[in-house]
Copies of this chain bind each other. A is one copy, B any other.
Amino acid sequence: MTTPQAAPHLTGEMFLGSRRVRGEAGSVRAVDPRTGEEVGPEYGFGTAVEVDVAASLAARAHAVYRATGPEERAAFLERIADEITALGDTLVAQVLLETGLPEPRVRGEIGRTTGQLRLFASVVRDGTFHGARIEPALPDRTPLPRPDLRQRQVPLGPVAVFGASNFPLAFSVAGGDTASALAAGCPVVVKAHEAHPGTSELVGGAVAAAVAASGLPEGVFSMVYGEGPVVGTALAEHPAIRAVGFTGSRRAGTALMAAAAARPVPIPVYAEMSSTNPVFLLPGALAADAAGLAQGFVASLTTGAGQLCTSPGLVFGVAGPELDAFVDAVAQALAASPAQTMLTPGIHASYETGLDRLSSADDVQVVARGAEPAADGAAATAGSAAVFATAARTLADRPALGEENFGASSLVVTVDDAADLAGVAADLEGQLTATVHAVASDHAAAATLLPVLEDKVGRILFNGWPTGVDVGRAMVHGGPFPATSDGRSTSVGTLAIERFLRPVAYQDVPAALLPPAVADGNPLGIWRQVDGELVRG
């Protein structure tokens, strides 16, 4: 067991390329959420000045970094993974100290973070992401000859990444957005999340060390501390920044969307914001195992104190004894569920406010609460899970009841008839996930529901639970607004590389000048579409 304690040698400085710089525009210290105490050094906030330095370094690095070959770029990603791994227990202890997360989760998240860096290294080597297409010249075509046309995807340019509070590693400094942007060939400027500044410094140091060890231009990676309205806005508005990756609240995400759209040159924003991840309990599945579903639900709801983007915040079922049995079993399981340390005092306070709102709402019943925090010795941010219930018509009248309350809070919504489920699904906002529990006798109803869900969410899962996002090649962690700002993309899985690319066509470009991805003889050995056929020759 690792003892949560501040890493030695933390400086509280930012990374502006290879330089360590102390911000002078205010500061923050880390807070141990179990005690509410400040720990570690002061992390100095930057201003638009440091943002300009970082973004300008990134712009200069772009010209070199975009041209790196597959082996060089892949080895760099692997080197970042190695540097993070080398932090060992120092990193684990720092994350424990700053987040209060359970140690197995922290160790697992380190593995996920290094794993996705290595996965993107394999994507870079595979090279399908180049989207190479070749249409050789047809000089004799009528009525007009066809020129030689080739197409590949090029990196957008410097990307601003905003670390998330709830995944201090996998969605933060060297998390998914950073890995996919670097894989695409884009330099990255990270705005560190103030909820885990020391973790950010450690990981930022690992990335900076990898940049140096790989002989890349220093501007490939920078990291700043600062207040969102100052440093975050300055980043999103900086002319050198070409895209934004963000995971956080709907308020902050939509503010970034507005800032990016108002720029003289608008840029894409990939903001993952809020999702209630509806679960549909079909009648056959409920009849078959209401108690088992309840156990699975409570386990999913309470994972990470509910502080997951995919936490199941809405459950739909047909009113009746089977649903009653489910609710009873949920209440029983929840009562035995201990209070958990939440990530920050702010998140904890917001969660409690959300619970109060639901508890006092008309036509909403409190189904169950998790165990209260112990009278003494409890963490300062201890939060108990909660499940509420209401009728579909109440939710239809007051859709705000169904909005995300970040934490282990969920609302069971009853419909009168299974045939109503597709209708309530159609009324939902965009979501990251939707879950269907169904047995064979439910398949007809599920087949009706499925296309409605395809239109609403990024991932549909059956007979499981939405928490736990597998980082692979077929994953989609995205979905229509407000789940994300841009449902055409994913922030998890190999497809994420595409969000930082755009196509360029080459017409009659001399062979000697063609980039390798579309050069004659396929020097990269990648899959290419030639005259409409995929070939790797």
Contact = CB atoms under 8 A, between A and B. Distances in A.
A461 interface: yes
Contacts of A470: 135, 144, 146-147, 149, 507
A215 interface: no
Contacts of A507: 459-462, 464, 470
A268 interface: yes
Contact of A443 (B454, B486, B487, B513): B513
Interface string A133-162: 111000000011011011100101100000
Contacts of A438: 510
A532 interface: yes
B151 A476 contact: yes
Given A495-B151, A509-B460, A503 B476 contact: yes
A506 B454 CA distance: 9
Nearest to A472: B135
A426 to B, nearest CB: 10
Interface in A457-489: 457-464, 468, 470, 472-476, 478, 480-482, 485-489
A508 B462 CA distance: 5
B268 A475 contact: no
A411 to B, nearest CB: 22
A460 to B, nearest CB: 6
A487 B429 CA distance: 28
B505 A460 contact: yes
A218 to B, nearest CB: 20
A66 B451 contact: yes
Given A266-B257, A458-B503, A464 B508 contact: yes
B268 A461 contact: no
Given A126-B532, A447-B513, A505 B475 contact: yes
A122 B533 CA distance: 12
Please classify how large the interface on chain A is, using the bins under 10, 10 to 19, 20 to 34, 35 or more: 35 or more
A156 B479 CA distance: 11
A261 interface: yes
Contact of A532 (B463, B468, B473): B473
Interface string A306-327: 0000000000000000000000
Contacts of A154: 454-455
Nearest to A265: B481
B266 A485 contact: yes
B504 A476 contact: yes
A481 B495 CA distance: 24
Contacts of A486: 268
A63 interface: yes
A15 interface: no
A450 interface: yes
Contacts of A147: 461, 464, 470
Contact of A457 (B463, B473, B504): B504
A502 interface: yes
Contacts of A149: 470, 472, 474-475
A534 B529 contact: no
Max count, chain B CB within 10 A of own CB: residue among A478, A504, A512 = A504
Contacts of A146: 470, 472
A476 B261 CA distance: 24
A495 B513 CA distance: 24
A289 to B, nearest CB: 16
Contacts of A108: 143
A11 interface: no
A527 interface: yes
Given A149-B472, A460-B505, A460-B506, 8 more contacts: A133-B495, A151-B473, A151-B476, A443-B510, A460-B507, A480-B502, A490-B503, A493-B505
17 contacts: A62-B455, A134-B474, A144-B468, A146-B470, A147-B461, A151-B495, A258-B261, A265-B481, A268-B488, A446-B513, A454-B504, A460-B506, A462-B508, A475-B505, A478-B503, A489-B503, A527-B534
Interface of A: 62-63, 66-67, 108, 111, 122, 126, 128, 131, 133-135, 143-144, 146-147, 149-151, 154, 156-157, 257-258, 261, 265-266, 268, 429-430, 438, 443, 446-447, 450-451, 454-455, 457-464, 468, 470, 472-476, 478, 480-482, 485-490, 493, 495, 501-510, 512-513, 527, 529, 531-532, 534
Closest 3 A-B residue pairs measured CB to CB? A461-B507, A476-B505, A149-B474
